[in-house]
């Protein structure tokens, strides 16, 4: 980029500051690729999606098995290869659809930058900012690219998301405003001097908007299972290969007679059975489909585990303004204490200020006569300071005018009448601010003093509570989720709004200025305080950390820059669509239309994902358990493997693959319960052991009492058919247990699988293709008896675990 900058025509600094770049200069920088475009996407690339779904450890093992079967065995035994390809294709297609939907939303709702070009102010996409652009930054804006401040008015920038420093940094002309930081007070013009990958924004936005599958109980548990299976595969595969070669007369004899080919195919069948190839796929599909479903409801999921995460949340911290209320203020009344000439004009000036906050902006509709006199100095509002001030020189408006929280502005001196009026207004759910005046101007250059101020007028504002807030909060209460309101507003104002949305408590709310700094002591206070006012941005973060220290899973909602730090540290950060760019960048969920009532649907999707993936995991891990037990047993006994790969393909498809796909997407409203991995293994290991015992019982009978009236190949075929029937029927009972409670769709799903089994056994072509020959005599009797016993054992296990709470039918 340095070479590209060196080729640019020089720009006159004075002209640039007054009118910004012209069209020719913008074109020159675009041609030189000096734009703010970053070479990353808001989601994984197509190649990354293909790689993640195709080039996996299990697919590598299964692909090697497929090649072996095609080289030395019957092509019909390569059926599992088509299933692997279908799984990978489904995964790629589904994740690409999710990627496309989320990318469109990310572009549609991406933050925009305000720039000066050709002497005109305009908004452009952040990616369209070019080198030397003049940025116009105001309160709430996120700095889109590294820039040098040209001119500033009381500019304070929050760099906490970059440096961890919680205190806002005052910036003067010549200072650098780093991309990714946020303006919390004042405004400025700034010249961009680093763009694209060179700026902080490239790293911040890439990380904040990445399509990720991380930090999830489900995914962490499944990754642990896969790791254990992967390590177990190595010795088991060696044991199986040796056992199959020994079963065919030993290594030398098998190689000499060519029976090694049969041994290889049997070893492949064992390996294929042990791998839960569809588990990761269906988990990813469940997350992706949930994200797409929520996107249609105007909820942008910026990190996929957030879908699961909100269902696990047991504590929701709510910002008041813009979350419980609509964020718009309207003037509800005034009380004049000591009329000073020009106070209405001062209020008009405050309301018309380009950097006015929501409260000050609410003055504009009532006070419109902006004074012609320009102020000589001003102190812009910040949430930490809780007031703004303006100084006018000699004339009708002469003196210092301060607008802010009465308890802060009037702290020095005896102003009981004004403070009591403010207290009464706050108790009625109104926001009270006072305009105070001091005729003698304070000397410039030092800390602004609040001494000597006299109240002029008390202004009370009301916030409109969102119509869906009370109902949504009641939903969370019904789900056992604890709620806390943390706001920078007056505690009594916060308490009044809390009562409007259904909080039941006595008192005036807790003043957070009295919160201890120690997290442990703060957590003790939060055990019994749920409505807090006068909370600083740093305290919001500390409150989240304190609650997390008590093992709470915390969600935080907010819309302002002062919420960004808490959103970043919460387990689930939820931003309103109308919120500041910095707030949306660090959140995991964005309510695009600002409708608080969407949150229950996010919880419902999370519950569906967790409960359905748990069911699917039980199916896959039951198969993996019985496959491992059979492989080890057969390897030790040096018997022939009891299945052909094609027979295991039909078992996997009808008892796991097809039903698991539908079960993963069906509705499920079961409440979240911690212990996903423990519950899954508590069912899968014993149920898999039961299935393995049934298989080995039937196979042992076939080995001990072979049908002497037929040839050896027929004996082997009948034995394989008997164990295939056994595993199909017992595994279908497992499916029926996990599909409960039955509704129309689950009943239809299980019935369809049973019908498929009947068709496979009844249609001659299917029996021939899968090498099935229904046994007769004692083997058939043994098969029926063992299968019935296995189904009863599965049923007893299910009912036992249901009483223990390890499985649940409640939805």
Lowest mean pLDDT: which of 204-218, 420-434, 448-462, 682-696?
204-218
CA 719/CA 721 separation, integer angstroms: 5
CA 178/CA 156 separation, integer angstroms: 12
Q: Choose the most confident range, by mean pLDDT, from 156-170, 362-376, 553-567, 579-593.
A: 362-376
Helix H or strand E segment including 298: none
The phi, psi pair for 258, rounded to 5°, reads 90, 0
Q: What is the pLDDT of residue 776?
A: 85
CA 600/CA 20 separation, integer angstroms: 47
Whether the CB-CB separation of 493 and 423 falls below 8 Å is answered with no
Query: Which residues are CB-neighbours of 533 under 8 A, at least 6 positions away?
Result: 487, 488, 489, 490, 491, 492, 493, 494, 495, 509, 510, 511, 512
Alpha-helix runs per DSSP H in 297-410 = 305-312, 343-352, 358-361, 406-409
Indicate the burial class of 446 (C-beta count within 10 angstroms; 0-12, 13-18, 19 or more). Answer: exposed
Helix H or strand E segment including 220: helix 217-247
Whether the CB-CB separation of 73 and 265 falls below 8 Å is answered with yes
CA 532/CA 794 separation, integer angstroms: 52
Tell me the pLDDT band of 220, cut-offs 50, 70 and 90.
Answer: confident
**What is the pTM for the complete model shown?**
0.67
Write the pLDDT tens digit of every residue in 323-368: 788 767 778 889 999 888 899 999 999 988 877 777 888 888 889 8
Tell me the pLDDT band of 204, cut-offs 50, 70 and 90.
Answer: very low
Whether the CB-CB separation of 140 and 183 falls below 8 Å is answered with yes
Which residues share a beta bridge with 330? Answer: 462
CA 693 to chain centroid: 42
For range 263-292, the mean pLDDT? 80
Tokens of 230: 């992967």
Q: What is the pLDDT of residue 214?
A: 37
Give the residue among 159, 173, 175, 146 at the shortest CA–CA distance from 36: 146
CA 14/CA 511 separation, integer angstroms: 49
CB atoms within 10 A of CB 799: 12
The phi, psi pair for 217, rounded to 5°, reads -60, -45
Pairing of β 431-438 and β 454-465: antiparallel
Pairing of β 182-194 and β 431-438: unpaired
Write the pLDDT tens digit of every residue in 83-128: 678 767 877 776 777 667 656 655 655 678 999 999 999 999 888 9
**Dihedral angle of Cα 292, 294, 296, 300, to the nearest 10 degrees:** -90
- Active-site amino acid positions: 319
CA 210 to chain centroid: 10
Phi-psi map region of 412: left, alpha, beta (phi>0 left; psi -120 to 50 alpha): beta
CA 589/CA 586 separation, integer angstroms: 9
**Cα dihedral 700, 703, 707, 708 sign:** negative
The phi, psi pair for 522, rounded to 5°, reads -65, -40
Q: Which position has the higher pLDDT, 598 or 355?
A: 598
Write the pLDDT tens digit of every residue in 518-559: 999 999 999 999 999 888 878 999 999 999 999 998 999 987
Q: What is the pLDDT of residue 5?
A: 62
Q: What is the pLDDT of residue 809?
A: 57
Write the pLDDT tens digit of every residue in 306-328: 778 878 888 999 988 777 887 67
Mean pLDDT of the chain: 84
Residue 679 has pLDDT above 70, yes or no: yes
Strands (E), 73-143: 112-117, 120-125, 134-137
The phi, psi pair for 642, rounded to 5°, reads -80, 0
Residue 26 has pLDDT above 90, yes or no: yes
């Amino acid at each position: 980029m340095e070479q590209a900058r060196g080729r640019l025509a020089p720009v006159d600094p004075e002209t640039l500051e007054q009118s910004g770049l012209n069209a020719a200069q913008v074109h020159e920088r675009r041609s030189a690729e000096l734009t703010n475009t970053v070479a990353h996407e808001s989601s994984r690339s197509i190649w990354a999606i293909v790689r993640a779904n195709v080039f996996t450890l299990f697919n590598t093992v299964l692909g090697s098995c497929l090649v072996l079967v095609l080289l030395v065995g019957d092509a019909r035994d390569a059926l599992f290869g088509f299933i692997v390809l279908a799984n990978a294709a489904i995964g790629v297609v589904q994740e690409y659809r999710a990627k496309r939907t989320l990318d469109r939303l990310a572009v549609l709702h991406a933050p925009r930058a305000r720039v000066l070009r050709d002497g005109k102010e305009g908004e452009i996409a952040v990616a369209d900012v070019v080198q030397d652009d003049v940025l116009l930054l105001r309160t709430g804006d996120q700095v889109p690219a590294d820039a040098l401040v040209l001119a500033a008015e009381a500019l304070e920038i929050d760099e906490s998301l970059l440096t961890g420093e919680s205190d806002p940094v005052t910036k003067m002309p010549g200072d650098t405003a780093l991309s990714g930081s946020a303006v919390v007070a004042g405004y400025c013009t700034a010249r961009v001097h680093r763009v694209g990958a060179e700026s902080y924004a490239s790293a911040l936005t890439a990380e904040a908007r990445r399509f990720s599958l991380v930090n999830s109980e489900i995914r962490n548990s499944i990754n642990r299972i896969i790791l254990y299976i992967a390590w177990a595969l190595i010795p088991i595969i060696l044991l199986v290969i040796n056992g199959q070669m020994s079963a065919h007369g030993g290594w030398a004899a098998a190689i000499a007679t060519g029976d090694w080919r049969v041994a290889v195919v049997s070893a492949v069948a064992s390996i294929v059975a042990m791998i839960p190839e569809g588990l990761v796929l269906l988990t990813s599909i469940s997350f992706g489909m949930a994200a797409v479903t929520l996107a249609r409801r105007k909820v942008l999921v910026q990190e996929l585990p957030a879908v699961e995460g909100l269902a696990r949340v047991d504590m929701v911290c709510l910002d008041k303004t813009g979350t419980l209320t609509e964020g718009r203020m309207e003037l509800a009344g005034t009380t004049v204490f000591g009329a000073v000439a020009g106070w209405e004009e001062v209020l008009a000036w405050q309301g018309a200020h380009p950097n006015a906050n929501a409260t000050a902006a609410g003055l504009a509709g009532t006070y419109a006569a902006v004074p012609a006199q320009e102020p000589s100095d001003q102190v812009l509002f910040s949430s930490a300071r809780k007031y703004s001030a303006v100084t006018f020189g000699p004339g009708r408006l002469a003196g210092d005018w301060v607008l802010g929280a009465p308890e802060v502005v009037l702290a020095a001196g005896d102003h009981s009448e004004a403070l009591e009026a403010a207290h009464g207004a706050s108790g009625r759910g109104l926001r009270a601010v006072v305009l105070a005046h001091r005729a003698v101007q304070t000397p410039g250059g030092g800390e602004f003093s609040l001494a000597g101020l006299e109240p002029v007028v008390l202004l009370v504002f009301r916030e409109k509570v969102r119509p869906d807030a009370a109902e949504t909060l009641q939903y969370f209460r019904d789900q056992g989720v604890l709620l806390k309101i943390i706001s920078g507003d007056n505690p009594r104002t916060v308490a009044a709004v809390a009562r409007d949305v259904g909080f039941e408590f006595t008192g005036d709310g807790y003043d957070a200025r009295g919160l201890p700094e120690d997290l442990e002591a703060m957590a003790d206070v939060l055990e019994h305080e749920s409505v807090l006012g006068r909370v600083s941005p740093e305290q919001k973060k500390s409150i989240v950390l304190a609650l997390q220290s008590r093992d709470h899973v915390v969600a935080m909602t907010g819309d302002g820059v002062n919420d960004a730090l808490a959103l970043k540290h919460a387990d689930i950060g939820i931003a309103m669509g109308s919120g500041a760019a910095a707030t949306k960048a660090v959140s995991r969920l964005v309510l695009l239309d600002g409708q608080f009532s969407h949150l229950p649907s996010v919880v419902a999707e999370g519950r569906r994902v967790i409960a359905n993936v748990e069911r699917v995991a039980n199916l896959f891990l039951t198969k993996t358990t019985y496959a491992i037990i059979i492989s080890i047993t057969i390897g030790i006994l040096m018997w022939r493997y009891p299945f052909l790969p094609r027979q295991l393909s039909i078992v996997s498809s009808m008892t796991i693959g097809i039903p698991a796909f539908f079960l993963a997407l069906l509705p499920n409203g079961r409440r979240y319960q911690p212990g996903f991995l423990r519950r899954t293994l508590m069912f899968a290991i014993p149920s898999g052991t039961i299935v393995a015992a049934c298989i080995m019982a039937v196979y042992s009978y076939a080995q001990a009492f072979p049908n002497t009236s037929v040839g050896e190949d027929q004996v082997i075929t009948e034995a394989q058919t008997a164990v295939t029937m056994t595993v199909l029927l017992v595994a279908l009972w497992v499916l029926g247990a996990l599909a409960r409670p039955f509704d129309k769709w689950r009943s239809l799903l299980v019935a369809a699988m049973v019908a498929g089994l009947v068709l496979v056994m009844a249609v001659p072509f299917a029996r021939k293709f899968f090498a099935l020959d229904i046994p007769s005599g004692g083997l058939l009797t043994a098969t029926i008896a063992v299968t019935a016993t296995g189904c009863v054992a599965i049923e007893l296990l299910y009912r036992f675990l249901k009483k223990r709470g390890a499985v649940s039918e409640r939805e």
